[in-house]
Amino acid sequence: MEAVVGRRMLLRPGTEHELLTVLAASRQVWGRGISAEDYIEFHRLIRSHPWSDENFRHLVLVDDLGEIVSSCKIYYHELKLGSDIFRLVGLAAVFTMPEHRSRGYATQMLEHILDEVSGQGFDLVMLFSDIGIEFYARLGLEQVRKYDPVYAFLNPKIKPAEIAVFEYLPEELLNWHLAYAERQKFSLVRTGKYFQLLSDRIDWHRKYMGFREQRVIVSHEDQGYVWADLTRWRLIIRDFASASENPKEALARILSALQARFNFREVAGWLPDEFDYYSFFKLKEKRLRTKTVLMFTALNERGRVVLKLAPEEIHFWLADYF
pLDDT at residue 38, as a whole number: 96
pLDDT at residue 292, as a whole number: 87
CA 3 to CA 12: how far, in whole Å? 7
pLDDT at residue 23, as a whole number: 96
pLDDT at residue 3, as a whole number: 57
Amino acid at 254: I
Residue ranges of the domains in the chain?
3-145+290-320, 148-288
Divide the 322 residues of the chain into consecutive groups of 10 and give the mean pLDDT of each group: 63 96 94 93 96 97 94 97 96 95 94 96 95 94 91 87 97 97 92 97 94 95 96 92 94 93 89 77 88 94 93 81 66
Same fold, 3-145+290-320 and 148-288: yes
pTM: 0.92
Residue 165, C-beta contacts closer than 8 angstroms, at least 6 positions apart: 215, 216, 217, 218
* Domain 3-145+290-320 coded CATH 3.40.630.30: yes
Q: Is the dihedral of CA 271, 276, 278, 282 positive or negative?
A: positive
CATH class label, 148-288: alpha beta
Cβ neighbour number for residue 137 with a 10 Å cutoff: 14
What's CA 119's distance to the chain center, in Å?
25
Helix axes 36-48, 192-204, angle to 10 degrees: 170
